[in-house]
Amino acid sequence: MQNDKSLTVKRIIIFLILTFVPAYFFEIVTVDKDTEGYLTSVFGGSSLMLYPAIANVLTRLITKEGFGKTYLRINFKGNFKYYLIGALFPIINGILAGAIFSVCYIHPYSFSENIDEAGGMTAILASILMLIDITIAELFMGFGEEFGWRAYLTPKLETLMPSPLAICVNGIIWALWHAPLITLGYDWGTNYPFFPYLGILSMCVACIFISMIFTYITKKTDSVWPAALSHTVVDVIMSTISVIIIGVQNEEIFNQHDYAYPVIGMIICPLIISIPMMFSMFRKNLQNKA
């Protein structure tokens, strides 16, 4: 038993080294302050999300773990609703975040003006359809991260600690993976007190809540694909939907409150969405305790 645990710890350490070293290399070497934390290396930007998946495969090979329980099966039959949750969560999240931000900061607000400023309904429809195409084609990007974080790290952590704690630890590790970029303004901007420490802390909280949702759909389907789909939709579509709702002409107001939007979109909304999922996931544990 003790041997199993130490082997799991060893595997986790190898996985983390393989995930963090190449990512930190690009995140530290190929960024500058002008790009607000976005990588200057196109190769780094294109390959960054693949390192957790590569680390999963390499760790299995290095530690001779084998390829059992990879969560690669699609398991679509009977699990359509979880795929739907995966696809719809970022869209609902984007709409909610955009709406809450608009109510709080944009006065007077006009949605029809936003549509005109974005080029009309044809342009909006075209951009949404184009983003759907990109999501389908670039599903591997979301898969790259989810195959590492949700399909490998979470199950490993769960053998060492209770599931809720494993999800939290996973979220914190996931957030720290982005840390060098946050110190340059990625996602959370630079316009907030205790920069960049508060940004890193906020990212940890955000990643815990988003991790809850992704872990929920991964566990329910026994497949990494719904989480990969959801992650890709988060990256490709979510912010565009928010931008349409907030309005491109309100960019200046958005920039003035660039910390507020991620707090709404990455902490408050995922928290609201993840609560019922958490109850569903840990209902048995709660019932047993009662």
Residues that bind other proteins (CB under 8 A): 41-43, 45-47, 50, 73, 119-120, 122-123, 125-127, 129-130, 132-134, 136-140
Closest approach of other proteins to the CB of residue 51, in Å: 12
- Closest to other proteins by CB, 45 vs 164, is 45
Contacts by 16-20, CB closer than 8 A, 24 or more apart = 16/55, 16/173, 18/51, 18/54, 18/55, 18/58, 18/59, 19/51, 19/52, 19/55, 19/148, 19/177, 20/177
Which of 66, 54, 276, 280 lies closest to 147, judged by CA? 54
Closest approach of other proteins to the CB of residue 31, in Å: 14
- Closest to other proteins by CB, 114 vs 202, is 114
Closest approach of other proteins to the CB of residue 218, in Å: 18
Closest approach of other proteins to the CB of residue 71, in Å: 12
- Closest to other proteins by CB, 54 vs 271, is 54
Closest approach of other proteins to the CB of residue 50, in Å: 8
Compute the distance between CA of residue 153 and CA of residue 244 in angstroms, rounded to an integer.
35
Provide DSSP, 85-97.
HHHHHHHHHHHHH
- Closest to other proteins by CB, 2 vs 122, is 122
The residues pairing with 39 across neighbouring beta strands, listed in sequence order, are 31
- Closest to other proteins by CB, 95 vs 134, is 134
Which residues are CB-neighbours of 79 under 8 A, at least 6 positions away? Answer: 220, 221, 223, 226
